[in-house]
Amino acid sequence: MAAVKSPGLILKKIPFSDTSLILKVFTRESGLITLLAKGAKRPKSKYHGLLDFFTLDQFIYPEKSKSEIHVLLDAGLIREFPRLKADPVRQSLGHVFMELYLKYVAEPAQSHPHYEMLLERLEQIDESGEGIFDPVLHLCDFLLGLCAVSGFSPQFTECVQCGRPAKGFRIRMDPDFGGPVCAACAGTGAGGMAFPGRLLKWLGRVQEMGARAGRLPREEESLAEAFLLSFLGKHAGGARPLKTLDFYREMLGSIDMRADPPL
């Protein structure tokens, strides 16, 4: 029986019987797959200390299985993300990343760009320094990365209708077409979302340089996040509610209180 050996990241764990776990894993070699880890919940399991969220593991599983669930043959630790594992704010963001993959990437979808993107973004939120860690910036960067590896990207420079350069202090953003609508084309009663002009420029910078783009006030970044979530939903087969967003937003509230002590 031929076996595959692949690094992978666990996106979801589902208890199976009293002793086993079903894992949804994004692997480098096979994309998103389902693995059955027999006996993983036993205290003396060979998987003890492995199969955590926010670790990069090596997985060994049969190349072909009778069902869509492959039996995990062996696993080993490659590396951990210590800050991510220790910090609930970073964890809440990591879980949003993982749920976005579960909801928007088809199974099985062998794709090295998807694998590399997820791994790189988890590394970045693990490495980001204490004072500068900005979850909303990282989520916007992640959403732009997911769009790019999935083959559709919004743009932030020209009107989606007439192609003229988009500028001004107030702009309308169209999540259907993935870009700005100029004042002339918007006319009266335009749909879409109202955006400050500098937010458009900021999104262009995030698309170009990732999380190094710097920060904007939280309310504006959150508007960009809402636009990107809506754009992704429209281009990836329909918006799907994300359960992990609630906890992420609760955590955001907690760091905002830390950052702005009452006067």
Binding track over 120-159 against Zn ion, x by CB under 5 A: ---------------------------------------x
Q: Closer CB to Zn ion, residue 105 or residue 182?
A: 182
Q: Closer CB to Zn ion, residue 162 or residue 257?
A: 162
162 binds Zn ion (CB under 5 A): yes
Least spacing, CB of residue 174 vs Zn ion, in Å: 10
Sheet of 69-71: strands edge to edge? 69-71, 31-37, 20-27, 3-16, 55-62, 74-80
For residue 19, which amino acid is it? T
Q: Which stretch binds Zn ion (CB under 5 A): 57-65, 105-113, 174-182, 229-237?
A: 174-182
161 binds Zn ion (CB under 5 A): yes
C-alpha span between 22 and 61 (Å, rounded) = 13
Least spacing, CB of residue 186 vs Zn ion, in Å: 8
Q: Closer CB to Zn ion, residue 162 or residue 226?
A: 162
Size of the site for Zn ion (CB under 5 A): 5
Q: Closer CB to Zn ion, residue 65 or residue 161?
A: 161
Q: Closer CB to Zn ion, residue 72 or residue 159?
A: 159
Least spacing, CB of residue 184 vs Zn ion, in Å: 5
Q: Closer CB to Zn ion, residue 185 or residue 239?
A: 185
171 binds Zn ion (CB under 5 A): no
Least spacing, CB of residue 159 vs Zn ion, in Å: 3
60 binds Zn ion (CB under 5 A): no
Least spacing, CB of residue 190 vs Zn ion, in Å: 11
178-217 residues near Zn ion, rule: CB under 5 A: 182, 185
Q: Which residues bind Zn ion (CB under 5 A)?
A: 159, 161-162, 182, 185
